[in-house]
Chains A and B, each alone.
Chain A
């Protein structure tokens, strides 16, 4: 089945640690996105990538880093510089970055908790 897979589903991080969230898609989509969701805040864009080896900062990129070495994969690292990382993280992909069909397909999310 085609889809987008995030892992792990739940992740616990100690203060000062970096953690990496995985996102893999087999939909052959060019564009991939990372969003953060907090209660009552909706979705906020962290980083996005239109093509392999290229990515852009979203609205809340501070304290996060990404890579896009393969079309299928877009991992997100939450660094120790992110002061309030506890949140629900959603990865998405879309068929292309050009205007027109920008329907996004989402993974099931990773819930990160700082302990």
Chain B
């Protein structure tokens, strides 16, 4: 299966600290995306990184991609209590035109005030 796997499953930090989540996948991709889900809600797209990119920034988010290791990381800097949520990585399949995404099981991030 192409399904990504996030690590760790759960992460608990204090406000102001940085949070790092990792994602590994199995097959070649066109791009990798990160999504956020608040409890009981839908997913919200955070950032997309293409297979020919190594790093991307968006506000307090920094994403890296290492296609040789088939892995990605999401860094949230200066975390806030409002960042408490589940974070998922999603990949597609290189060369596929089907557009379907494969999601991991997510990392549950808790940021304490």
Contact = CB atoms under 8 A, between A and B. Distances in A.
A42 B103 contact: yes
A93 to B, nearest CB: 10
A109 B44 CA distance: 12
B98 A106 contact: no
Interface residues of A, number: 32
B100 interface: yes
Nearest to A96: B99
A111 to B, nearest CB: 7
B38 to A, nearest CB: 10
Interface stretch (B12-20, B72-80, B88-96): B88-96
A97 B30 CA distance: 13
Contacts of A100: 30-31
Given A42-B104, A43-B88, A90 B42 contact: yes
Interface string A51-93: 0000010100000000000000000000000000000101010
Contacts of B100: 33, 45, 48, 58
B45 A103 contact: yes
B47 to A, nearest CB: 10
Contacts of B44: 106
A99 interface: yes
Contact of B31 (A102, A105, A111): A102
Contacts of B45: 103-105
A28 to B, nearest CB: 15
A102 B101 contact: yes
Interface of B: 3, 30-31, 33, 35, 40-45, 48, 88, 90, 92, 94-101, 103-106
